[in-house]
Structure 1
């Protein structure tokens, strides 16, 4: 990176490196950026990344720091999604993640993990928006759709010209996804869907929704691509959330919704990316704490000088190093085709558990300011609860791992009332 790029870099006021991009500075840009990224990278883990993965990581961080961080508190407070950011997110070139072809980026799992964690470092709601778009809806179309379906949907979705949602969970069924009540009945020319869904993100403004329903002929669960304006589709936003407030989660009712034959899909990467969302949240909280403890004083000394605060900060840092290495290894296993569903579930369960502890420690370090959205950690604390639960709760993921290592399943208990 040369001097022209150095002049183009802009760091937000208050950041550790604000004002340090003077072209006359003796600090070379690669070293400068490495030190800027290394606040939470105590073991130089970025050396495990390729130059391309690091460059993409820096690109996403600059966008999130400059374009997103200054405006996010007001949107979180009002539970409104910042729609004006969607075209900018689409132009960054990482949506579509690991999908190859059809104008998608074809990134490595590690590269996409870096992107999603950098987004989550600033805001988990926007990371969740990207996760739904790339790792749930788009990946479902890429893996199960026909070539004509991929050509029709993936190019516009990867550039965010269109937004998609993924509807699996129902009012009565979450972890037990095998018991879906939403049904699809075969009719001439296509399918008719009836049922209800709860919690799908992005659905209030989605152009298309990937809906999972039970085929009444085979009793198997199939996927269907439903246009957002389809007759019989009723979508209502879930209000009064205390976590992921900007994510537009909804209740969906499907009443005789017709889906053309061309839009039916033949039916654990998302769990890995959910783990990286929590890593990003933890890194963002650690970075904020390190800065805050150095700036705020009590009894005329920085909070960072107190032993109890130092111990909490070190515990947070240790958690982050371990989570990062765990997540990195999962990406490599996925990329080589060796990752099992149990490995993905263990990663999601353990990483989100450690991230939850890390974020809670950060909220403690901020004291009263830890519950104010302007200071970031309060928002992150609330958002972390959602990540801990979605893509399989800690308990369900633990049971999946236990089934794989013992050969005995205890996921579906039997009971006699």
Structure 2
């Protein structure tokens, strides 16, 4: 059998048998568990918490991490899983990213042995949920301006401040909170139920409705001396985690794009207009061809980034290129796919407009288009333009 209409270049031939097995396993889960339910979850603005242990069993939580009960898979395998999950919904892939690429990675990279043993095995199994508190109400794209502070005391630390758009915060068992100290920006582990922590989900939302994002306030939160992540000081800590998440996004966005394209292709083949299927018209074929061009290029780009990552050679500016390009193209594809669906495309019976709405969030988080453009601009010119 030759390449499919979604893989004209036969990119599957570039994948190993193990990589294909991982992809098929996650694809099957998405088809059976996510796609039949996502319209309800999205419309009800409900994150399906019951799937968390299922995702642990699937082996996608902290998927790229080694030891401490983590799956220890390759970067390419994680990318393929992210692509399949986001073909279901960006909100589900975002959960996996927040849990694994952000919270678990912070503990795995920068935590003490005791912290790793305490949290990582149960997070990998989906028994515990983590979140990553970096963004603030007035410090989104510029985390160096964060106002949240941690003051050292005789008994440990006192944490004050506010964070915004913190995924999973209302259901998290532990928060990784970044705060300013006398010794620079440091990470802290804050277990759920700690007095002085106030969490309010942000709603209603037009995007990421099957996901949870929250406002979090810290009011004189007392932490023990062992709450601090000992392994890192400064923005290098959170940025190392953001790069893990950005890498997964480059893959995930192509899953949303592919699902949008496939929905439009199927519809165009059966929807009759003027006595002929939509797919028989030149304008429709041009739309489908342009979608497929960008999906194939974006998937090849994501795979190349994964190979570089597995070889230990992936640079931050390369991740920015992948995140910027693939999300931007995926959003355009989802919107174009909706036009083929006509009025039916605004119902929850079809995925493209839901994907487009979600991708507006993906475009913004882990670095806006503007931030990644400036990262790339600085790299190619040698001039930083972040402050005008």
Displacement, 1:182?
A: 0.2
User: Separation in 2 of the partners of 1:276 and 1:385?
Assistant: 16
Q: Which residue of 2 aligns with 1:3?
A: none
Instruction: Identify which of 303, 311, 317 aligns with 1:342.
Output: 317
User: Separation in 2 of the partners of 1:206 and 1:132?
Assistant: 11
Structural mapping, 1:277-356, within 5 Å: 277-356=252-331
Question: Structure 1 residues 194-203 or 258-267, which shifts more?
Answer: 258-267
Q: Which residue of 1 aligns with 2:197?
A: 233
Displacement, 1:87?
A: 2.0
Q: Larger radius of gyration, structure 1 or 2?
A: 1
- The answer to whether the Cα contact below 8 Å between 2:38 and 2:210 also exists between their aligned partners in 1 is no
Relative to the length of structure 2, the TM-score reads 0.95
Show CA shifts across 1:344-368 (max 9, x none): 1111111111111111111111111
Structural mapping, 1:15-414, within 5 Å: 38-215=4-181, 217-218=182-183, 220-265=184-229, 266-267=231-232, 268-413=243-388
SS in 2 for 1:235: strand
- The answer to whether the Cα contact below 8 Å between 1:168 and 1:211 also exists between their aligned partners in 2 is yes
SS in 1 for 2:169: coil
Show CA shifts across 1:217-241 (max 9, x none): 22x1111111111100000010111
Displacement, 1:263?
A: 2.3
User: Separation in 2 of the partners of 1:390 and 1:159?
Assistant: 26
User: Separation in 1 of the partners of 2:107 and 2:185?
Assistant: 15
Displacement, 1:39?
A: 4.1
User: Separation in 2 of the partners of 1:412 and 1:148?
Assistant: 40
- The answer to whether the Cα contact below 8 Å between 1:99 and 1:106 also exists between their aligned partners in 2 is yes
Higher relative CO (CA 8 A, sep ≥ 6), structure 1 or 2?
A: 2
Show CA shifts across 1:349-402 (max 9, x none): 111111111111111111111111221112111011111111100111010111
User: Separation in 2 of the partners of 1:356 and 1:405?
Assistant: 26
SS in 2 for 1:317: helix
SS in 2 for 1:256: strand
Relative to the length of structure 1, the TM-score reads 0.88
Equivalent residue pairs, number = 377
Displacement, 1:322?
A: 0.5
Show CA shifts across 1:81-123 (max 9, x none): 1122222111101211211111101111100000011000011
Displacement, 1:48?
A: 1.2
Displacement, 1:243?
A: 0.5
User: Separation in 1 of the partners of 2:101 and 2:77?
Assistant: 14
Kindly report the root-mean-square deviation, in angstroms, between the aligned alpha carbons of the 2 structures.
1.3
SS in 1 for 2:166: coil
User: Separation in 2 of the partners of 1:213 and 1:254?
Assistant: 11
Q: Which residue of 1 aligns with 2:236?
A: none
